[in-house]
Structures are given as structure tokens and as C-alpha cells.
């Protein structure tokens, strides 16, 4: 089973990869080991993202074995914290277990995060599981415009990384109440004055483009930890660039038919353009912003993940790569 993960970037470069155990869907499904299926088909459909499709059968073959694996990781991490507390002679409360979910725009991160949240909540221990997306930590549009960063929205420098790290630090420290900004995909901006309040979860899932990023931005500010330093387990959703582009364009056109028709939408002016114009515009956005970000920032973090889920053209997960311990 031991293998190295194939490089799926378009430049077809070959480099030394960190070693992973690589599984086909069938081999990975065998690792379910009788884990019960707690979700019905209707629940799975409701958890799907706006332009993502998950076959209910793959919740059993892919996500249930992953859920089982995570139970072992959580138990082992709790035991490690308990050992540290014994050594220090302390009896502090448990430390939240944090899972990071990374990957390109349109790859289906939100669906994966929601499925994991739903499955973990059904564990016999019934843990408290919260989900946060890093979209809320994007700088407000006013700031991005002032800094000339609107065309680089989603790139590492477009996030308030210091605020995100403080949020994660407070979560790990067991603060009673921690807040995160809320982002609106309708207005394409933070929602002023609105926050998501997280109260001492057992497990927190953090989903976002650049959560595995390590590149230090040029700054006079003191060095800070990486976002991923706070993760106990990380997942990267992978797919071929051509498939990602096609999914992105399809999502844009679906949004044009629905969300863009709302006068409050940031993209309202594109609601009535022709199908050809919508395709051309979406393709341009993909090439100039999202593909560039994928190649420069998001894609290179893939091999830092503990687990890689590789999707085929129909969103079907065809391969699972688990980092060797």
C-alpha cells in the first residue's frame, strides 16, 4: 500500500513528496470495520454544498472510515494531553481537537466539513462539534480596495491572519466564548457587527483555502505561528485543474441564475448577461485569480496534509492518501 502521491499540478513537475499510504476506494472502504452509518440519504443531500455532489454510497466508503480514523486520533490526543497534565500536576479542562480542511475554490471543502461535523456528532460520546470557515477572516472589502488587493481576494495577504491565529489560540486555550467574523457570499464581504460565537467545543473544524499555508508574508510585524500549528489533523481536497475550472464555471452560472438576481448581490450586474458572456467572465476570474492562487499558494500545501482526498471529474473520490506516521 505504501506509495507516493502523484503530482496533479498542470506543470507536471516531479519532486520528492512526503510518503503517504495510498488507497483505492475499495481498500479504504474496508477500513470502516463495521462503523455504523448514522446518516440517511436525505440528511446527506441536505449537507451538500451549493455546487457539490456527494454520492451517499461514498459517505459509507470514504467518510465513515475517515470518521473511524478520527476517533483514534482524538483518543490519542486526549491521552497525550492527560499525560502532560499528570506530569504538571494539573487538572485543566480538555483541549479542543481541531481539524483543518483545505483545497481549491469549488473543490467541495464545505460539503466535506459539514459531512464530518454531522458524522462526528453521532459518535457514541456525542462530542460538541463546531465549524468555522476562514472567509470571515478576509479583510473587509474597504480595506482590500484601499490596499489594492481586491483582485487578490483569497490570496494569503487578503486575510487578517493575526485575527485568525488569535481566534485559534483562544479556542485551544479553552476560553469560554470566542467569536469569529461572519462573511456573506451575497454581498461578497464581511457582515458588519455580526459574529459567530464558539463556546468550548470538543472538536472544531476549520475550513478554508489557505489554512495549510506556511509562506511568511513580508512584514515588519513579529513572527507569528502558522494557522496549521493549531491543527491536530488536516485534510486536503484535491482535483485536476480542468475539473476545478469546470466546477467553478458551473457554480458561477448557477449563482447567476439564483443569488445574482438579488439586488444586494455584489455580482448583481452580471445577473442578466448571456450564457456565453457568463462563461467567458467566469473563465477569466478562474484564470486570473483562482488558478493563480491555486498554483502559487493552495496547491503547494497539499503535501502538508495528514490526509488527501482526490476527486475525479464527477466529484467521486477515487483515491485516499494518508500520511505515514
Can you give the residue ranges of every domain in the chain?
A: 2-323
* 223 vs 253, higher pLDDT: 253
User: Looking at the domain that runs over 2-323, which CATH code has it been given?
Assistant: 3.40.50.300
Report the predicted TM-score, pTM, of the whole model to 2 decimal places. Answer: 0.92
> Is the CB of residue 322 less than 8 Å from the CB of residue 307?
yes
Label residue 316 by pLDDT band (50, 70, 90).
very high
CA dihedral 70, 45, 137, 244 (to 10 degrees): 90
Helix axes 109-121, 64-88, angle to 10 degrees: 70
Q: How far is CA 214 from CA 174, 199, 210, 299, 304, in A?
A: 25, 28, 9, 12, 10
- The pLDDT assigned to 18 comes to 64
The arithmetic mean of pLDDT across residues 27-52, rounded, is: 90
pLDDT at 91 over 90: no
Work out whether strand 307-311 and strand 233-238 pair parallel, antiparallel, or are unpaired.
parallel
- The pLDDT assigned to 48 comes to 87
Q: Which residues pair with 68 in a beta bridge?
A: none
- The pLDDT assigned to 216 comes to 58
- The pLDDT assigned to 39 comes to 94
Amino acid at each position: 500500500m505504501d506509495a507516493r502521491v502523484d503530482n496533479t499540478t498542470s506543470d507536471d513537475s516531479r519532486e520528492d513528496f512526503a510518503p503517504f499510504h495510498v488507497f483505492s476506494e475499495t481498500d479504504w472502504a474496508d477500513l470502516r470495520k463495521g462503523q455504523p452509518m448514522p446518516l440517511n440519504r436525505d440528511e446527506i443531500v441536505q449537507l451538500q454544498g451549493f455546487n457539490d455532489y456527494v454520492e451517499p454510497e461514498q459517505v459509507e466508503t470514504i467518510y465513515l472510515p475517515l470518521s473511524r480514523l478520527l476517533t483514534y486520533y482524538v483518543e490519542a490526543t486526549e491521552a497525550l494531553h492527560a499525560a502532560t497534565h499528570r506530569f504538571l500536576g494539573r487538572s485543566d479542562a480538555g483541549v479542543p481537537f481541531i481539524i483543518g480542511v483545505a483545497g481549491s475554490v469549488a473543490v467541495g471543502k464545505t460539503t466535506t466539513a459539514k459531512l464530518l461535523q454531522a458524522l462526528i456528532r453521532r459518535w457514541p460520546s456525542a462530542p460538541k462539534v463546531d465549524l468555522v470557515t476562514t472567509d470571515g477572516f478576509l479583510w473587509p472589502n474597504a480595506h482590500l480596495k484601499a490596499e489594492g488587493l481586491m483582485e487578490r481576494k483569497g490570496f494569503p495577504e487578503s486575510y487578517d491572519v493575526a485575527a485568525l491565529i488569535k481566534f485559534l489560540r483562544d479556542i485551544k486555550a479553552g476560553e469560554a466564548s470566542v467569536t469569529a467574523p461572519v462573511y456573506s457570499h451575497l454581498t461578497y464581504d464581511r457582515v458588519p457587527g455580526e459574529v459567530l460565537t464558539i463556546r468550548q467545543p470538543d472538536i472544531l473544524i476549520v475550513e478554508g483555502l489557505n489554512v495549510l499555508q506556511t509562506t511568511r508574508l513580508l512584514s515588519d510585524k513579529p513572527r507569528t505561528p502558522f494557522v496549521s500549528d493549531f491543527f491536530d489533523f488536516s485534510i486536503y481536497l484535491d482535483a485536476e485543474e480542468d475539473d476545478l475550472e469546470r466546477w467553478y464555471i458551473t457554480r458561477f452560472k448557477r449563482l447567476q441564475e439564483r443569488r445574482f438576481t438579488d439586488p444586494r448581490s455584489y455580482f448583481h450586474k452580471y445577473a442578466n448577461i448571456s450564457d456565453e458572456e457568463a462563461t467567458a467572465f467566469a473563465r477569466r476570474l478562474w484564470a486570473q485569480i483562482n488558478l493563480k492562487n491555486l498554483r502559487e499558494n493552495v496547491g503547494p500545501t497539499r503535501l502538508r496534509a495528514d490526509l488527501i482526498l482526490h476527486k475525479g471529474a464527477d466529484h467521486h473520490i477515487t483515491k485516499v492518501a494518508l500520511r505515514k506516521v
